[in-house]
Amino acid sequence: MNKHLPYRDWIFEEETLPADSAQALRRHLQGCPDCRAAAEAWKAARQSLANAGEKSPRTGFTARWKALAAERIRVPSRRPAWAMLAVSSAGSLVMALALAVQTSTQGFSLAGVFTRDLSAAAGALEDWMDTTSSLGAFLTIVSRSIPPACYLFAIFFVSLIGILWLLLFVRSTAQGKQQ
Amino acid sequence: MVSVSALGQAGKTAVGRTGAAFKENPVVVEIQKEWLLAAREGDVDAFGRVVDAFQKPVFNLCYRMLGNPEDAEDAAQESFWRAYQGLSKYDFQRPFGTWMLSIAAHYCIDRLRRKRPILLSLESLLPEDDAPDETPNPEDQTHRKQEQEAVQQLLSALGREERAMIVMRYWHDMSYEEIARSLKVSVGAVKSRLHRARHTLAERWPVHSLSPVSPGGGHE
């Protein structure tokens, strides 16, 4: 058994110890150089933290912050616009590829989209009831159950967001140059 | 309308070294609310007053966390910018100081996670131009610089979160509950990690101390 326990824990305790524990710790410290060294080291370390004081920034900190804020307000970060454009472009591409695969294997006509979608969804539901729940089968069913019309809508929507972000980006850049 | 000097005075009261710094008195809260409400509406100058009032504790936390004034300046500036942008999420029931320090601590922890910090301050090599000099005696100045360095060395022995906890506890007198809330951990975790941190600091003290306390026997 460790003879320093529980005294070593008590040394680093912040709460005031009960009188009997404090007395026991005092007795232990008198007879244990290791624990006494630990106690004195912590006391000295704590004192050095207290002596260190609060560090001040260079003068003009607030003025520098205001300049930073003004700059960031004037020229908003370009990253979100480019990030959104990249994500929406990648999303559109993936959707277009998925649509291409689906239409090439199933044939595609706008008139038949909705009737075929209904039967595809029903078939997918039926498959789902019968299939074991492996991830691959699940993903296959999910991809089959998304109708081409949804793909078309998603491509349109994502592209629209991309174009919108591009327009906003161009406008904000132009405003920044004017100012 | 409160006068500019009154605002300044209130700001200074709000950033004292003790725990009272963030347990604002009603006047300070009232004034700061004004600033914060205006800042929430996009008034940069109003938030500038908040920056002015809290620059010292925020910079100090960043400095103690990152270990050099250049990084601390960047981190403090960024923390205030994030606070300004996130003002709509600020809960007025919560002391602004602890909320602000929480933002700064999280930013510094993330920054330390991304790169290893330079723990030895460049100030020890360069003359300090702008910092207020309260000790004209060159010997005292040298001693203070060395002591600051020793403190940074001590802090560098701690992990990121433990360092933040120690700074919040011993520089900003935050309670366990406030630290827990700021760092999004349990009160129990704060207590145990602070306990461990104190142990580490004591272990490191004789090694890095400039004038080690003679403990009547080495402590290993």
pLDDT tens, residue by residue, B158-183 = 999 999 999 999 998 899 999 999 99
The SS3 of residue B215 is: coil
CA–CA separation, B135 vs B32, rounded Å?
Answer: 33
Whether chain B has a CB inside 8 Å of the CB on A67: the answer is: no
- Cβ atoms of residues B174 and B194 within 8 Å: no
Give residues 53 to 72 of B whose Cβ lies within 8 Å of A.
Answer: 55-57, 59-60, 63-64, 69, 72
B112 CB burial (10 A radius; 0-12, 13-18, 19+): buried
- Cβ atoms of residues B219 and A43 within 8 Å: no
Please list the alpha-helical segments (H only) found in A12-147. 19-31, 33-52, 61-74, 79-106, 113-130, 135-145
Looking at the predicted structure, is the pLDDT value of residue B121 above 50? no
Looking at the predicted structure, is the pLDDT value of residue A136 above 60? yes
Angstroms from A157 CA to nearest CA on chain B = 29
Q: Hey, are the CB atoms on A40 and B213 less than 8 Å from each other? A: yes
- Cβ atoms of residues B120 and B74 within 8 Å: no
pLDDT in tens, B65-111: 999 999 999 999 999 999 999 999 999 888 899 999 999 999 999 99
| Mean pLDDT, residues B121-148 | 60
Q: Hey, are the CB atoms on B81 and A48 less than 8 Å from each other? A: no
Give residues 155 to 184 of B whose Cβ lies within 8 Å of A.
Answer: 166, 170-171
User: The domain B4-128+135-208: what is its CATH number?
Assistant: 1.10.1740.10
Could you tell me the residue ranges of all domains in chain B? 4-128+135-208
Could you tell me the residue ranges of all domains in chain A? 7-52, 77-178
CA–CA separation, A26 vs A6, rounded Å?
Answer: 12
Nearest to B122 by CA among B152, B92, B96: B152
Identify the closest residue of chain B to A42 by CA–CA distance. Answer: B202
CA–CA separation, A172 vs A73, rounded Å?
Answer: 11
Angstroms from B31 CA to nearest CA on chain A = 18
